[in-house]
Structure 1
């Protein structure tokens, strides 16, 4: 589904991601783990073409994306929920959701009922400005907007960070259901190891911009956590 081969990501002249290679299969729930500053967000931004420069290969369903601009990668089937959510605060919930439909292969301009069923609060607040939502509601909005692009792969950058516990549980359950029931391929950057272990079937640990470990989630031992993740 998503193949990275020798992927480098640059901020100006500084190489922040170094020869990263990984294969993410269709239907995977793949967690990218690591301490702060090791390149997790950089990895997602490199896949999206949001870095100053990238080199190497990014393929989606065998199609090379690394020469394409970000909007073309979204149209090819990559959905993205950034750290900080990235919603437009002056736009209503409805308008924020509509933006997601512009990257969809079909049904542009239509907000699918099933997305509103995942997050009923969005339906209730369709005419409320995004900036007036709580942090957890904004995260639900960001995920709903990404889903409306009809992605083949959904990239999520710490979707549970800074959110009240009851909404964290709702978001976790929705993401797991999307993967298990709808077969959506998910790549998750997350500090919450409990969630990563519960949701994922595979993982990779990044260290200083390179892949230190990749394996099935059952192999995420306490020794690996202590070596690569504990501050």
Structure 2
């Protein structure tokens, strides 16, 4: 479904990804792991076309993404929930959700109210400004907004970071359901190894901009975690 082949990505003249090869099949759940600053977010941004320069091949269902601007990559079926959530604080919950529909197929560019089954609190806050929500509620809104595009693959950058524990459990459950029940492929950047092991089908470990280990999640050993994630 999504393939990165020998991908390098640059901030100015600084190379942040080096020869990255990653594949995500239809309906798969890939966890991207590693210490802070090793290139995990950069990989997400490269997929979305948000880097200064990217070389190598990026393909979605065999289609070359290299020449596509970010909004057309979104329309092709890739949704993104960035680190920090990216909620527009002066827009209401409804307006934030509506923004997500702009990337949906033309026949589905209306508010998908199924997200209120996943995140019931959002229905009660439709008229409230996004900036007045708690951190956990904003993260729920960010995921719900991404789902408005009816994506086939969703990129999630540390969605549980800084969230209260009871909301973390809910968000983890929703992410797993999206993959298992709706068949949406997931690429998850996460520090929570236990969640990655529970939810993922495959993993990729990054170190200094390179993939140093990857495979079935059953191969994510404690030794790998200690060597490439321990501080």
TM-score by length of 1: 0.98
Paired position in structure 2 for 1:116: 116
Per the TM alignment, residue 101 of structure 1 is displaced from its structure 2 partner at its CA by 0.3
Is 1:103 the counterpart of 2:103 in the alignment?
A: yes
* Structure 2, gaps ≥5 residues long: none
Deviation per residue, 1:38-58 (Å, 9 max, x gap): 000000000000011111111
Paired position in structure 2 for 1:203: 203
Q: Residue 203 of structure 1 contacts residue 214 of structure 1 at CA under 8 Å; is this kept in 2?
A: yes
TM superposition outliers: structure 1 runs of 4+ over 3 Å: 106-109
Paired position in structure 2 for 1:57: 57
Per the TM alignment, residue 19 of structure 1 is displaced from its structure 2 partner at its CA by 1.1
> After superposition, where does 1:128-207 map in structure 2 within 5 Å?
128-207=128-207
C-alpha distance in structure 2 between counterparts of 1:80 and 1:160, whole Å: 15
> After superposition, where does 1:37-48 map in structure 2 within 5 Å?
37-48=37-48
Count of residue pairs the alignment pairs up: 231
Per the TM alignment, residue 106 of structure 1 is displaced from its structure 2 partner at its CA by 3.6
> After superposition, where does 1:207-226 map in structure 2 within 5 Å?
207-226=207-226
Deviation per residue, 1:166-195 (Å, 9 max, x gap): 000000001101111111100000001111
Q: Residue 109 of structure 2 contacts residue 149 of structure 2 at CA under 8 Å; is this kept in 1?
A: no
Give me the CA root mean square deviation: 0.8
Deviation per residue, 1:195-218 (Å, 9 max, x gap): 111110100000000100001111
Paired position in structure 2 for 1:93: 93
Paired position in structure 1 for 2:66: 66
Secondary structure (helix, strand or coil) at the match of 1:150 reads: coil
C-alpha distance in structure 1 between counterparts of 2:61 and 2:109, whole Å: 26
Paired position in structure 1 for 2:230: 230
TM-score by length of 2: 0.98
